[in-house]
Structure 1
Amino acid sequence: MFENRIEKLRERMKENCLDGVLLVGDPNRNYMSGFTGDESFAVIGLDRAIFITDSRFTEQAKSQVKDFEIRQYNGKIEEFLSDVVEELEIKTLGFEEDILTFDKYCLYAKNLSCKLVPMEGMVEQIRIIKDSDEVAAIKKAASIADEAFMKILQFVKPGMTEREVGVELEYWLKKFGASGLSFPSIVASGERSSLPHGQATDKVIRMGDFLTLDFGCVYNDYCSDMTRTIVMGNATEKMTEVYNIVLKAQEAALKSFKPGVTGSEVDKVGRDIIKENGYGNYFGHGLGHGVGREIHENPRVSPMGNTVLRAGMVVTDEPGIYLPNEFGVRIEDLVVITENGCEVLSKSPKDMIFI
């Protein structure tokens, strides 16, 4: 598996006149190597690959990383990298321009006897298509989120704080097998549900509130992401209207996911329904985004999403309507693009739930 990924990268390196790349960001480095730790370096040449770490991770790297030569460094990493670059006879070295700080770039440019060239998402372009093992990990992360959500439905009640619900949610995610959260859970009730990224506070959840829960977990280094909006007690006529519009938009977008369409085309399907019902000004973010080792990856499913969808891409479908000082509704599923359409990985119910 990792050998195949490395060969795909080498093909892209040749196309871009690179004879080496330096990977320092956890998602790209670990994707290429199988390592699960951090603060390490992967140098991939056209014929050899060297994994560099320190004494904290050497034993771990030797057990996890099979397609690299393992080297332990001491002292200044820039000096060690300089020796590796010379050993591999690298003249043009690609680097992750969105990961490497300017300070580190200057340090490496000064010490390495090669030209540094931005990779421009070279590894991410490979990562965008998930293989069967990756999809299986994401499915498991999604199923853990579904299980935790069902526990929250049994737990939550008016009088609790958003923070209490957030803590309970994290407990169940980890209880069911998650290694951590994909992102800090969004727990927003009442008027705060109009905040698309309203993280939990000490606000008390009241009867008549919408409660928006946007959360995900990590399983085997892969993320999940889902959102459900539930009703505490009874919903007003306007709350019901808005919820049903969002649900209609979300399900219409689901039906339009398939290979060959762009993210912007899918976004338009959901967005047009919200616009047609008079709430276009209250849906400000994209319909969705890619998910994998990172919670936000390519492709974008938004008005600016020009990537053509292909089988193996994993994306979210999450339209919303947010009415300031009133309430908000978002409904989100995680899906994988298949040869004929898409498979919905989030199994939790989407019809309006009353607590």
Structure 2
Amino acid sequence: MDFVARQTKLREHLATTRFDGLLISHLPNIRYLCGFTGSAGFLLMEESGGVFFTDVRYDTQAHDEVKAAKVVVARKSVLQCVGEWLSGRRKRARGWTFGVEAEHFTLADKKRLKDLLPSGTRLQAGPSVVERARMVKDADELRRIRDAVNLGAKLFDRAVEVMRPGVKEVEVAAEMEYAARRAGADEMSFPTIVASGARSALPHGRASNRPIEPGGFVVCDFGVILAGYCSDQTRTVWVGSVSDEARRAYEAVREAQQAAVDAVRPGIAVGEVDAAARKVLRKAGLGRYFTHSTGHGVGLEIHEAPRVAAGQQERLQAEMVITIEPGVYFPGKWGVRIEDMVAVTAAGCEVLTPTSKDFLAVQSS
């Protein structure tokens, strides 16, 4: 990872703003900029360089991991250390304006830091410049994402192996998560979703103690974190004898998902990708059952910008990575969702998820 280039780009951006510095508090942004993977820290970026603050638990780790920034280890509160460090430059800092990450820096922390700073120092909401930089992945990030996607995809094979009537949803999820750990995953990207029967109509129905029953869909939505980067995939399986209605609904979702994938290319607004999926489902008479957005960015976090949703005007760029995941949900009955991760290329996109999307039925016996 080229942390020097990332920090240089941020410092160059700071030079064009009214801010004298930007305090990074969101841990994924800190990792992106300097490589720190611990759970406590702040990164202060100024035009002259960066300073990373953490506590004594991470003394050794910070000195091993942090690149292109000075490391300061707090003996007490990390935030207090930031304030005291800035106060020690009182003459220089008076009248300065520092940006904070408004979506991640709490009002309470802002007040505590403000009370520690020299009179006249201002704290204001800073630009979301790091999140915007993270939308476009570099070659190292794309490699890590591919590895995470490929590892995560193997978990579906294990799910199908153990998925039978009478087996509990949570038992299927446990088998998938155990397989992920054995394969080297850091952890799961999010709590594994295995939702069967009427629960498959819950878009985020986490695995429960409910036994799987024949005559319904099972939605499996899962992902892993590998070397810090996330995967995200959904496949839907039918259990038992298949009805024509179920097959039609599944095929409509698959067609909608493919239409959205086909729409992905540099320059297109993400709202148009969302519209491509909705058009297919409306034509099939299922439009009102598609109740969420079509996708989102993925990287160091499972949900990143851009949001692929109706009316969103962000335009795709090459090397962005997004999900395409339309679904239909019939409350009290069942639901279907199909999700792939795709990388935007110069000519269109590459589907990263290798798993087949053909209709799959697991028999009762």
* TM > 0.5: yes
- Corresponding residue for residue 151 of structure 2: 144
- Corresponding residue for residue 264 of structure 2: 257
What's the offset of the Cα at 1:36? 1.1
8 Å Cα contact 1:193/1:327 also seen in 2: yes
The question of 1:342 aligning with 2:349 is answered yes
Question: Out of 133, 138, 142, which is 1:135 matched to?
Answer: 142
- Corresponding residue for residue 35 of structure 2: 34
- Corresponding residue for residue 44 of structure 2: 43
- Corresponding residue for residue 74 of structure 2: 73
The question of 1:160 aligning with 2:189 is answered no
Q: Count residues in correspondence.
A: 355
Deviations 1:83-110 (A, max 9, x none): 3325664512111111111111111122
Question: Out of 224, 233, 236, which is 1:229 matched to?
Answer: 236
Once the two structures are superposed, the pairs formed by residues 1-355 of structure 1 within 5 Å of their partners are: 1-86=2-87, 89-90=92-93, 91-113=96-118, 114-355=121-362
For 1:164 and 1:267, how far apart are their aligned partners in 2?
34
Q: Which moved more, 1:132-141 or 1:71-80?
A: 71-80
Deviations 1:140-192 (A, max 9, x none): 11101111111221222111011111111111111112100111111100111
Q: Determine helix, strand or coil for the equivalent of 2:265.
A: coil
8 Å Cα contact 1:263/1:309 also seen in 2: yes
For 1:196 and 1:18, how far apart are their aligned partners in 2?
41
* Superposition TM-score, scaled by structure 2 size: 0.95
User: Are residues 83 and 163 of structure 1, via their aligned partners in 2, closer, same or farther at CA, if it must alter by over 3 Å?
Assistant: same
Residue type of the partner of 2:219? T
What's the offset of the Cα at 1:24? 1.6
Residue type of the partner of 2:180? L
For 2:41 and 2:80, how far apart are their aligned partners in 1?
15
For 1:205 and 1:79, how far apart are their aligned partners in 2?
52
Residue type of the partner of 2:242? A
Residue type of the partner of 1:173? A
Q: Which runs of 5+ in 2 are unaligned?
A: none
8 Å Cα contact 1:81/1:112 also seen in 2: no
For 2:231 and 2:17, how far apart are their aligned partners in 1?
33
CA RMSD of aligned residues (A): 1.2
What's the offset of the Cα at 1:312? 1.0
Residue type of the partner of 2:238? V
For 2:85 and 2:51, how far apart are their aligned partners in 1?
8
Q: Determine helix, strand or coil for the equivalent of 1:184.
A: coil
Residue type of the partner of 1:321? V
Q: Determine helix, strand or coil for the equivalent of 2:57.
A: coil
8 Å Cα contact 2:41/2:78 also seen in 1: no
Q: Which runs of 5+ in 1 are unaligned?
A: none
Q: Determine helix, strand or coil for the equivalent of 1:15.
A: coil
